[in-house]
Structure 1
Amino acid sequence: MATRHNLVTRTVDAMRRLAPLRLADTSWDNVGLLIEAPTVRAEANRVMITNDLTNAVLEESLADKKVGMIISYHPPLFRAIKTITMADPKQAIAARCIEAGISVYSPHTALDAVEGGINDHLISLCGAGDVTCLTPAPGATEEDGELAGYGRRVTLKEPVTLDDLCLQVKRGLGLSYLRLAVAPRHRAEQSEPVSTVAVCAGSGSSVLLGKRADVFLTGEMSHHEVLAAVEAGTSVILCEHSNTERKYLQTTLCKSLNNVFAECGWQYSVVYSKSDEDPLKTV
């Protein structure tokens, strides 16, 4: 049996500390070490983090001979596969990673659910208040804390206008724009203030719909899901899918993983991909 390279072993261990896989929704998600290269690049001592493992991100990692591990928040291999061919873009990326000696790990919904994870970052942008979890993670244990699960809801200590909330979100995520659907009670001249916000990073409808809040904040929802929320009296803020996740990955996850390496005395570095970006642009 081949021996797993220290960079891979230690990165997997560190990520499982930061986002235990028991918190992931494995009823549909695919998390953990998804691609393990049988040999690792000779100079490998660096981990690259990305939201999505695209061809552009792969080319960037191949150009840096020190990258031996990629953490792709979204799993590049999602559904079961029966072949690995270069004709399929996702399979081709996996094959090229293996050939180059680069392993790939995905935390996805484990990082959404963990306390201090992506959804806690997103809810923090809305203002101070009492935060609860919308859907507890079935695999959570007592040590994971009360917030371990999918989505968050905050009751703000100081209510804000919908316009001010949008500005806070844009500043916090580094965005120039977002999409907004305004419920009738937030349209009037004397519109009601926003007291409660429910958030879910990425595609949040399965977690948010049916929950009570003045505003839903997520990456994407379908036309009819937005209509249903607005008709129920909830305004909707959409930032595009990966825009709700990227800032946390660039800042908090990079710092946290570097800290674990340093605490353990492991001489590895962590970088965020310069090629990773949301595929949708406003033109």
Structure 2
Amino acid sequence: MRVAELVRLLEQRYPVSWAEDWDRVGFVLGEPDAPVTKVLLAVDCDPATVEEAATAGADLMFTHHPLLLRGVSTLAPTTYKGRIVHRMIRSGIALYTAHTNGDVANPGVSDALAARLGLRDVRPLRPSPDEPSRGHGRIGTLPAPVTLAEFVGLAAAVLPGGVRASGDPSTPVTTVAVSGGSGDAFLADAVRAGVDAYLTADLRHHPAQEHLAGGGPALIDVTHWASERPWLDDVAAFLRTEAGVETIVSDVDTSPWTLWRTPS
């Protein structure tokens, strides 16, 4: 399969038109006619994952986060992004990104997160206006009620990188909302949905504080990388089945937070 063919296949599954206006997704780098036999999938395109792709002999990287989300005035090899681009060109690695169009897809980022947590009867937390089966976040039901403390333990067991939570540990949890990535924007949606708990990443102090003071559901905050990593397995399975390519899913944790300690 050629790069251009793989791009068309991915854009049928994750149309660029589904992305937010501010987002930058799609085909970023590479020769359209170059052959693709091996794809490395990663949350981020950074020096560590690019080196992993080069060492593995990957022809294309599929990433969730855009490398060039904001404008740059140079790609000189003396700059952070320039070094990445030059390394990929020298190694013959193409780059494709699906970001917010992957978030709202069905199945998408939050579907994979919900599945990792064992949620059933999943539906969008904030449905897309034009297609209610798609949208941001997901709401689902646990197979059986658990306490908040037990649910936090489950999240910690299946999602790497650490978990923090707020709420009464003995609170029963049956319905859960999830959102891969930064989830502040969907706090009100979780309240309206009447869920028992909301799991996401990057929750900020004041929005979380106001949410809890207003009687909102319990909050579980995981790392950004951990909340989006499960989706890569789904995309990899799709590429193996539909494109017949070999896939490698990167487990390089690109979270900037690398040291966790608890009070002694």
TM-score, with structure 1 as normaliser: 0.80
Letter paired with 1:118? V
Measure, in 2, the Cα distance between the counterparts of 1:276 and 1:177: 12
Alpha carbons of structure 1 residues 37 and 261: separation in structure 2 relative to 1, 3 Å? closer
Q: Which runs of 4+ in 1 moved over 6 A?
A: none
Give the Cα–Cα distance (whole angstroms) in 1 for the partners of residues 174 and 248 of structure 2: 37
Residue 3 (structure 1) aligns with: none
- Supply the AA of the counterpart residue of 1:245: E
C-alpha displacement at 1:178, in angstroms? Answer: 0.7
**Residues 52, 276 of structure 1: 8 Å contact kept:** no
Q: In the alignment, what sits opposite 2:138? A: 152
Identity percentage over the alignment?
Answer: 29
Counterpart in 1 of 2:6? Answer: 11
Change in CA separation of 1:159 and 1:275 when aligned onto 2, cut-off 3 Å: closer
Deviations 1:109-168 (A, max 9, x none): 122111122201222344444433222335x55xxxx33111112355643211121122
Distance 1:109 1:12 in 2: 17
Distance across 2 between alignment mates of 1:178 and 1:245: 14
The match for 1:219 is 201
Q: Which string of whole-angstrom CA distances, capped at 9 and with x for unpartnered residues, describes residues 23-51 of structure 1?
A: 222x22111111234784xx852111111
Q: CA RMSD in A?
A: 2.5
Please list every run of 5 or more consecutive structure 2 residues that lacks an aligned counterpart in the other structure.
none
**Structure 1 gaps, min length 5:** 1-5, 263-267
Where do 1:1-283 residues align within 5 Å?
Answer: 6-25=1-20, 27-37=21-31, 40=34, 45-64=37-56, 66-137=57-128, 140-141=130-131, 146-156=132-142, 158-173=144-159, 175=160, 177-182=162-167, 186=168, 191-209=170-188, 211-212=190-191, 213-233=195-215, 234-249=217-232, 251-262=233-244, 268-281=245-258, 282-283=260-261
Report the 3-state secondary structure (helix = DSSP H, G, I; strand = E; otherwise coil) of the residue aligned with 2:185: helix
Question: For the residues of structure 2 that align with 1:14 and 1:176, how far apart are their CA atoms?
Answer: 32
Post-superposition CA distance 1:247-271 (Å, at most 9, x none)? 231x222122111123xxxxx3111
Aligned-partner SS, 1:148: strand
Contact 2:200 2:220 in 1 (8 A): yes
Q: Counterpart amino acid of 1:112? A: D
Q: CA 1:7/1:170 → structure 2, altered by over 3 Å: closer, same or farther? A: farther
Q: Distance between the aligned counterparts of 1:230 and 1:236, measured in 2?
A: 8
Measure, in 2, the Cα distance between the counterparts of 1:123 and 1:82. Answer: 39
Cα distance in structure 2, aligned partners of 1:68 and 1:194:
44
Label 1:203 to 1:279 Cα distance change in 2 as closer, same or farther (>3 A): same
* Cα pair 1:200 1:208 within 8 Å, conserved: no
| Pair 1:60–1:210, CA change in 2 (3 A) | closer
Match of 1:265 in 2: none
Displacement of 1:276: 4.5
Report SS of the residue matched to 2:59: strand
